[in-house]
Amino acid sequence: MRETDTRTFTALLAGAVIGVYALIVAGATAAIADAASACSSWPVCSQPPSLTEPALIIAWGHRVTALLVGLLVVATAVVGWRVARRRRVKYALAVALALFPVQIGVGAAVATTGAAGEIPSVHLGVAASIFGALVAALAWHLEAGADDDQPVTTDPEPTPEPVGDVTVTGPSGLAETVRAYVSLTKPRLMWLLSLVAAAGMALAADGSIPIETILATIGGGVLAIGSSGTFNHVLERDADRRMNRTADRPLTTEQVPVTNALAFGFALGALSLAVFLTVNVLVAVLGLVAIAFYSVIYTLVLKPNTVQNTVIGGFAGALPALIGSAAVTGTIGPAGLALATLIFLWTPAHFYNLALAYKDDYARGGFPMMPVVRGEATTRKHILWYLAATLLAATVVTAVADLGALVAATTVVLGAVFLWTVVRLHRERTESAAFRAFHASNAYLGTFLVAVVIDALAI
């Protein structure tokens, strides 16, 4: 089998995955726009598309997309049957190909019955099954013949001594001291988590949100993140000395004394809860849970003891979505839960890339990250699986919150970019490819959240 044939099949299969995903998102958007009532005939609408009827344009677009994607799936299956080296890849393609006529039939029923009863749910379920079969085929195909799935160790033990020369700088001038304390708060996490909370608020809002609620929720969240980050620095300071990427942190270099850092963390946490209480009690409780979960459950229990630390730890990143929802309504609504689920599923697809890039460093620190314990090939497959789950969760957010074309286009386009970087990661298997996928995951979620805020509040 020639390398060009393999690359052609990979491109077709990745394109089919995104094509089916676009079809799912288009279907969700069609339901939102009540396109079924605008086009109740099948296979084509009885009326031509018109700029004066957006629902009709969406219906036509959905059917044209279905035709093109169907042809792409057929072409992918034909090429895959000839090129694929693993039987399971061929079987997955056969499942996707067999389900497509079923999907067409259910789609016809949706159109002609006006989306009555449970038919739309069946339509979405079959589409998701096709998507899952294609993702499985892609994951198995990309890792065929992978020879780098040997774990560093199945039970990592921390290196007894620091790696390299750790420079102890001690107290310095005011500017350096301020920078050290700011570094303790992990400011690079704040922008994305603040966006998560903002999106949670936007999804829960029925109209405008009081400015004081926005400021208190985001401000309290920033303080909570700072508190959690500071406690994480304190509790991991010994492991940080053994890892190259963390050996220059303020506590390892003794720029900040441990007692001062603890006092700083508690002060930030107390301020956070005080600010959250000006919103409501539920927000304050969720804020306290967030601080405790990241500082204690994740840092002390999960991260050093289980390979599932990243997966379960995703709960910490999901909490700002619930906080945002509770800030507006005093309760946690379905849209907030859907957004929290998306963040939870996105976390492994995002962080496993960093774990690949710093695999040896995490092994020195004694942390049982996925590539350390299960190997790189398994980690790459998990990235793809969690990426697929994230994309489906984004569709659920779109449908539950009645969002429109902006969010739909964002998740398809940025999802395609994210998938492209993951495919390249599977092919190149390098540190730079892992960082590329890591940054693409940030770009996907950040852009999606901005689109959610705009769509929910301004469109």
Q: Which 3-state string (H, E, C) describes 177-217? A: HHHHHHHHCCHHHHHHHHHHHHHHHHHHCCCCCCHHHHHHH
- Contact present, 324 and 204 (Cβ < 8 Å): yes
Pick the CATH number of 185-458 from 3.30.1950.10, 1.10.357.140, 3.40.50.300, 3.40.50.12710: 1.10.357.140
Instruction: State which amino acid sits at residue 410.
Output: T
pLDDT at 31: 60
pLDDT at 27: 75
Q: Where are the alpha helices (DSSP H) in 33-118?
A: 35-38, 54-83, 87-113
Report the distance separating Cα 313 and Cα 398, nearest Å: 25
- Cis peptide before 49, with omega less than 30 degrees from 0? no
Distance of CA 95 to the CA centre of its chain: 27
Inter-axis angle of helices 87-113 and 54-83, nearest 10: 160
Q: Rounded to two decimals, what is the model's pTM? A: 0.90
- Residue 368 structure tokens: 């049982």
pLDDT at 169: 57
Closest CA to 382 of 395, 371, 391, 394: 371
pLDDT along the chain (459 residues), means of 10: 79 95 81 68 83 80 87 94 90 94 87 75 89 95 71 59 56 81 92 95 90 96 96 93 89 91 96 96 97 95 94 95 96 95 97 95 92 94 96 93 88 96 94 96 97 88
- Contact present, 342 and 113 (Cβ < 8 Å): no
- Contact present, 174 and 390 (Cβ < 8 Å): no
* CA dihedral of residues 112, 115, 119, 125 (deg, nearest 10): 110
Q: What is the DSSP string of 101-165?
A: HHHHHHHHHHHHHTS-TTHHHHHHHHHHHHHHHHHHHHHHHHTTT------S-SS----SS-SS-
Report the distance separating Cα 129 and Cα 70, nearest Å: 14
- Residue 438 structure tokens: 């890591």
Report the distance separating Cα 3 and Cα 427, nearest Å: 12
pLDDT at 56: 81
Closest CA to 390 of 414, 357, 362, 370: 414
Report the distance separating Cα 226 and Cα 407, nearest Å: 30
pLDDT at 359: 93
Cβ-proximal residues to 308 (8 Å cutoff; 6+ apart), any chain: 302
Closest CA to 194 of 290, 64, 130, 106: 290
Report the distance separating Cα 362 and Cα 366, nearest Å: 6
Closest CA to 289 of 263, 326, 258: 326
pLDDT at 63: 83
- Contact present, 293 and 231 (Cβ < 8 Å): no
